[in-house]
Amino acid sequence: MKQLMLTVLLSLSLSLSAQQKQITLEDIWSNGTFRSESIASLRSMNNGYDYTVIEFNEGDSEIVQYEYKGMTKKGVVLTSGDDEIPDFSTYAFSEDESKILIGTKIRPIFRRSRIGVYYVYTSKAKSLVVVDSDPIQSPAFSPNGDKVAYVKDNNIYIFDIENNLRTQITSDGEKGKIINGLSDWVYEEEFSIVRAFEWNSSGSHIAYLKFNESEVPMFSMDIYGKDLYQYPYTFKYPKAGEKNAELSLHLFDVNQNSHAKVKLPEVDYIPRIKWMNEPELLTVQTLNRHQNHLKMFQVNTANNSADLFFEEKDDAYVDIHDNLTFLADDDFIWTSERDGFNHLYLYNSDGTLKRQITTGNWEVTAYYGYDSKRDRIFYQSTEQGSTQRHVYSINTKGKRKTLLTPESGTNSAQFSKQFYYFINTHHSANTPYQFTLHLARNGMQMMMLKDNKALKNRVANFEMTPKEFSTLRVGDHDLNMYMIKPLDFDASKTYPLLMFQYSGPGSQQVGDRWNGTNDYWHQMLAQQGYIIACVDGRGTGFKGRDFKKSTYLNLVKYETEDQIEAAKILSQRSYIDEERTGIWGWSFGGHMSTNAILKGNDTFEVAI
């Protein structure tokens, strides 16, 4: 009898231990149960065979050099373990890698801007010198590495490293009035730039933008810090329709210590400046306030002339990007939606179109660069479906296309200099992040760096159901959708429906990728008997120019209509309880969920 009882208890114990766990909020947000591993942010070295990373060793910060092949450690380049080297959190090499710019005491200002104290370490002399004893912004080596340009108190300075000499090259900078060499809040937020100055290839000139925000209205924002009471932070902030900062472009001749204002036609925005390979030639991109007409000017420093040589127009708006590479002869590679999808183009140095490089009803979603030795362009695209991402290479004639990452899901690459290797980050809805090393010429995998196998094993212990990807016909469009159902889903029963969306212009939520905390929360809700659905409506990205820009001048109208209509269509399914339908989102998605319940209160019972 005792043996029988023991057998029963053992069987029951094994049965209970084999049951899958239920996800808790603590698992998602506090216990780190689903935390994934990543690899360190690395920087390729000039030889293309090695890279460096910051590592922390017993409290010291170190720049450590590794070899791509085999990922073997070659040595420590710099360490704060040396008495004279302070702890640092960021670094940059000079072009010849003989000097290192290290950043200490870094603190954020806005979304992208930072301020800190910087030093230059010279490897051969093993010497360290402070760039400026005060906190500075956006330091940048000159091309030959003998100087550092930076911004302090809205003025541009040049630091001569060998002579330990600092020269102030602008003097009219003043908070709330004049900004030299840095973007204002609008440019940082809307055009994703902070540094607004650039060295030319010879180091003889610096091109910089000057923002005059004297007439821009002041805005006050309460900051809730560690103190009991909030405090006001005031800055210049133009609301819609109000006056923007006045903008001008200037050239500084380093050798002559002289300034010249570039004569440009009246412009509303200058979102990008970039020097060509010829050191006397600068390209300047301008936009009108409606942002539907981009012009590119070529500025000659010899005579300060500005000639229009390229234009891009759109009935809605032109997206600003950094996908511009000048070849040796100053022909250039550019991405554009001019044929209805984002593709690669090759232009002559005079701005005339030479050829379209990629074509098709799919989008180039990332441009990684150009290998001039092998005539290969590397890019990421949606060629295998708008929810997929794969990495390819192609030549400038649009021939010899090579798929480098065939595995389905989402692939993104980080290439070494010289384009010998790339590290691929692969993930999908069912596969956590995997990091692999590949040869760039053919995509051959050399080694697995991290596979997050431990996370995958942990996930397998929990109740989860795979996402079901499909499309939903809403009006004249097939909208991408995924659905998560309860593990014990029974089509003869009815379930409450919670829809998730973001819906912002050019965004995407329905992708074959590993999504992290939101997915675990959705899985937790599925455990409680909810069905989760996510639909990317009109205005979202990666399905062509017309689909993305259909919401132009009607923001939130079509997005809201699509979410309401999608909910109505889904509610017609026998297993959806149409009396229990909700919608949620964050940021723009929160704005959208509010609109959805206000305009669709006969469809949605709740909005978050």
**Residue found under tokens 């991408």:** 480
Distance CA 50, CA 93 (A): 14
Write out pLDDT tens, residues 470-519: 999 999 999 999 999 999 999 999 999 999 999 999 999 999 999 889 99
Whole-number pLDDT of residue 122:
97
At residue 440, the 3 state secondary structure works out as coil
186 burial (CB, 10 Å; 0-12 / 13-18 / 19+) is middle
Whole-number pLDDT of residue 559:
98
The phi-psi region of residue 47 (left if phi > 0; otherwise alpha if psi is between -120 and 50; otherwise beta) is alpha
Give me 133's structure tokens: 């004893």
Give me 2's structure tokens: 């005792």
Residue 424 in contact with residue 435, Cβ under 8 Å?
A: yes
Q: What is the 3-state secondary structure (H, E, C) of 349-361?
A: CCCCEEEECCCCC
Distance CA 420, CA 286 (A): 35
Of 381, 310, 400, nearest to 351 (Cα)? 310
Of 590, 593, 600, 548, nearest to 569 (Cα)? 600
Give me 435's structure tokens: 């990091």
- CA distances 305 to 261, 330, 432, 447, Å, are 10, 18, 53, 52
Paired sense of beta strands 531-535 and 495-500, if any: parallel
Identity of the residue numbered 291: Q
Distance CA 25, CA 31 (A): 9
DSSP 506: T
The phi-psi region of residue 351 (left if phi > 0; otherwise alpha if psi is between -120 and 50; otherwise beta) is left
**Residue found under tokens 């990728």:** 513
Give me 467's structure tokens: 């996402």
In the chain, the domains with their CATH numbers are: 465-607 (3.40.50.1820)
Give me 95's structure tokens: 């072009």
Distance CA 521, CA 523 (A): 5
**Residue found under tokens 């040595």:** 75
Whole-number pLDDT of residue 15:
42
Residue by residue, DSSP assigns 207-222 as EEEEEE-TTSPEEEEE
Burial of 269-296, coded b for 16+ CB within 10 Å and e otherwise, reads bbbbbbbbebbbbbbbbbbeeebebbbb
Whole-number pLDDT of residue 9:
38
At residue 559, the 3 state secondary structure works out as helix
Whole-number pLDDT of residue 7:
41
Q: Furthest-apart CA pair in the chain: how many Å? A: 104
Whole-number pLDDT of residue 13:
40
DSSP 493: S
Distance CA 470, CA 204 (A): 57
User: What is the rounded end-to-end Cα distance, in angstroms, of the chain?
Assistant: 57
**Residue found under tokens 């609008």:** 186
Name 470's Cβ contacts closer than 8 Å, sequence gap at least 6: 481, 482, 483
Of 467, 550, 477, 545, nearest to 511 (Cα)? 467
Write out pLDDT tens, residues 116-132: 999 999 999 999 999 99
Whole-number pLDDT of residue 83:
80
Residue by residue, DSSP assigns 103-126 as EEEEEE-SSS-EEEEEEEEETTTT
State residue 250 phi and psi, 5-degree precision.
-135, 155
Neighbours of 404 (CB within 10 A): 22
Whole-number pLDDT of residue 18:
53
Which residues of the chain, if any, have pLDDT below 70? 1-18
DSSP H stretches of helix in 279-420: none
Q: Is the whole-model pTM more than 0.75? A: yes
Listed in order, strand segments (DSSP E) in 224-304 are 231-236, 246-253, 258-261, 269-275, 281-287, 293-300
Whole-number pLDDT of residue 516:
86
How many Cα atoms within 13 Å fall on the side-chain side of residue 540?
A: 27
| SS percent in the chain: helix, strand, coil, step 5 | 15, 40, 45
Q: Show contacts of 598-607: CB within 8 Å, 24+ apart.
A: 599/560, 599/564, 600/560, 600/563, 600/564, 600/567, 603/564, 603/567, 603/568, 603/571, 604/564, 604/567, 605/579, 605/580, 605/581, 606/582, 607/582, 607/583
Residue 53 in contact with residue 40, Cβ under 8 Å?
A: yes
Give me 120's structure tokens: 């230059």
Give me 183's structure tokens: 């973007």
Residue 155 in contact with residue 149, Cβ under 8 Å?
A: no
Paired sense of beta strands 269-275 and 281-287, if any: antiparallel
How many Cα atoms within 13 Å fall on the side-chain side of residue 115?
A: 11
Strand partners, 75: 65
At residue 53, the 3 state secondary structure works out as strand
252 burial (CB, 10 Å; 0-12 / 13-18 / 19+) is buried
Whole-number pLDDT of residue 548:
98
**Residue found under tokens 């020097």:** 275
Whole-number pLDDT of residue 82:
87
Residue 131 in contact with residue 122, Cβ under 8 Å?
A: no
